[in-house]
């Protein structure tokens, strides 16, 4: 295990009935709040009323900024930056899933910037300050409520890039598992895929030459928890314990804990998927379930041992030969994605195979920004051919 610094300053308030605390938590950071939310679901499931009531009780002034869509776009975040500046807000409150939280983080960073906020995403500029961000989580998938990252799509060029800075990490996040009761089957499945893939990217793609039984055990245990909880949720969407286990496991999956001490982590599956959701607006989790098994097959010559370990520890594969165990593990992972209703091929997401070159070209541009030099357009195209 390598030297590391683990810092996670987010305060988590977890459990049923805890949304009522968001007002007093927000008031610690400012009196005028930009309330960022999506396209209406929080008004249908009662979360909006709970949030507004709590903010009102704390005598906070609220400026609403609704309309965030799945796969959030830069143009909308730019409107949010303008609104925040015009209204002089002091704190940003995101009520939603990863898309809403990432939009709130982008707005928070953009308010203090005297340049194009996209410069943060291309690493031309570094975030130096940001308004405080708080969250009330309504979709558990990305762990954006407890990490320092945000993802945004710039419509011009269909570029889906990311930023990372402790300045944008949420100060407080409220996680009430009952909010997930109304989450539909598709997004319950996609959430699980997203959380699992976050962990597996670190499990497969880290710089530590000696595997850590501690870190591996965390990933394997959390993955089994997520899988079991998801299967229960699909049978009974209002099973509190299953929703609670899923909600907390998804947060832990990408808050820095599972990869601590493993050195630099690469995210090639996310890199390739970003092009699918940027170009075709597929749900992020759906895109990941398409790319991950194909990417694993493409990496089999160098990573058979790691894939075999996953197959044995998570899926109960018993064969002794690593390559055979790896292939069996990949097959069982793919079948589990299908079982929960997430697509496992480009065709299943209505993405034509003849677009592979276009997708690869888009992804290769992000690979350069992320420093994944081995992932040329040609290499990415070969991975995508295994996803048909």
Which ranges in the chain are annotated with CATH 1.20.1090.10? Answer: 184-385
Q: What integer pLDDT is reported at residue 281 of this predicted model?
A: 92
Q: Strand 159-164 vs strand 172-175: parallel, antiparallel, or unpaired?
A: unpaired
Report the length, in residues, of the chain: 388
64, pLDDT greater than 90 = yes
Which pLDDT tens digit goes with each residue over 202-225? 999 999 888 899 999 999 999 999
CATH 3.40.50.1970 placement within the chain: 11-178
pLDDT for 273 equals 97
Note the pLDDT of residue 363.
97
Fold (topology level) of 11-178: Rossmann fold (3.40.50)
Q: 283-326: per-residue pLDDT in tens?
A: 999 999 999 999 999 999 999 999 999 999 999 999 999 999 99
Residue 174: pLDDT band with limits 50, 70, 90: very high
- Could you tell me the two tokens for 291? 């790319």
- pLDDT category, 140, cuts 50, 70, 90? very high
d(CA 160, CA 148): 17
* 164 Cα distance to chain centroid: 13
DSSP lists the bridge partners of residue 136 as 95, 174
Going by pLDDT thresholds of 50, 70 and 90, the confidence category of residue 122 is: very high
Token pair 């500046």 is at which residue? 85
Concatenated DSSP letters for 241-257? HHHHHHHHHHHHTTSSS
Percent of all residues in the chain with a pLDDT value above 90, rounded to a whole number: 96
Read off the pLDDT of each residue in 247-273 and give the average, rounded to a whole number.
96
Report the pLDDT value the prediction gives residue 341, as an integer from 0 to 100.
97
Alpha helices in the chain (DSSP H): 22-27, 41-44, 47-57, 74-87, 98-111, 118-121, 185-204, 213-235, 240-252, 268-280, 284-298, 300-315, 322-339, 356-370, 377-385
User: Which of 369, 343, 372 has its CA nearest to residue 267?
Assistant: 372
Per-residue model confidence (pLDDT) at position 117: 96
- Please enumerate in sequence order all residues whose Cβ is within 8 A of that of 210, keeping only pairs 6 or more positions apart, or say none: 1
Span 166-184, average pLDDT = 97
pLDDT at 39: 85
| 3-class DSSP state of 142 | coil
Q: State which CATH number among 1.20.1090.10, 2.30.30.240, 3.90.1170.50, 3.40.50.980 fits the domain covering 184-385.
A: 1.20.1090.10
pLDDT in tens, 5-46: 999 999 999 999 999 999 999 999 999 999 999 988 999 999
The answer to whether 283 touches 293, Cβ cutoff 8 Å, is no
pLDDT class of 354 with cuts at 50, 70, 90 = very high
């Amino acid at each position: 295990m390598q030297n590391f610094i683990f810092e996670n300053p987010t305060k988590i308030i977890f459990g049923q009935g805890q949304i009522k605390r968001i007002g007093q938590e927000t008031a610690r950071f400012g009196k005028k709040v930009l309330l960022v939310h999506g396209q209406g679901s929080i008004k249908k499931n009662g979360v909006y009323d709970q949030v507004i009531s709590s903010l009102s009780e704390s005598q906070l002034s609220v400026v609403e900024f609704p309309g965030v869509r799945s796969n959030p776009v830069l143009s909308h975040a730019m409107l949010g930056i303008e609104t925040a500046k015009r209204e002089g807000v002091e704190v940003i409150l995101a009520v939603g899933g990863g898309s809403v939280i990432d939009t709130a983080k982008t707005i928070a960073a953009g308010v203090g910037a005297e340049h194009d906020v996209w410069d943060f995403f291309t690493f031309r500029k570094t975030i130096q300050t940001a308004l405080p961000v708080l969250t009330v989580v309504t979709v558990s998938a990305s762990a954006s409520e407890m990490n320092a990252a945000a993802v945004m799509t710039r419509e011009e060029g269909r570029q889906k890039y990311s930023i990372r800075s402790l300045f944008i990490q949420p100060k407080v996040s409220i996680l009430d598992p009952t909010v997930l009761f109304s989450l539909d089957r598709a997004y319950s499945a996609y959430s699980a895929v997203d959380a699992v893939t976050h962990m597996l990217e670190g499990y497969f793609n880290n710089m530590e030459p000696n595997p850590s039984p501690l870190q591996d055990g965390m990933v394997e245990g959390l993955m089994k928890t997520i899988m079991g909880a998801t299967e229960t949720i699909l049978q009974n969407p209002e099973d509190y314990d299953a929703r609670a286990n899923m909600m907390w496991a998804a947060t832990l999956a990408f808050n820095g804990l599972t990869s601590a001490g493993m050195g630099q982590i690469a995210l090639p599956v996310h890199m390739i998927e970003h092009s699918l959701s940027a170009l075709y607006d597929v749900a992020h989790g759906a895109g990941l379930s398409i790319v991950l098994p194909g990417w694993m097959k493409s990496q089999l010559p160098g990573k058979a041992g790691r894939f075999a370990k996953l197959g044995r520890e998570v899926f109960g594969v018993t064969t002794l030969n690593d390559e055979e165990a790896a292939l069996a593990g990949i097959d069982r992972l793919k079948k589990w994605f299908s079982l929960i209703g997430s697509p496992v091929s480009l065709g299943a997401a209505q993405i034509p195979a003849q677009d592979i070159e276009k997708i690869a070209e888009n992804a290769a541009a992000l690979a350069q920004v992320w420093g994944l030099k081995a992932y040329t357009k040609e290499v990415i195209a070969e991975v995508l051919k295994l996803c048909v």
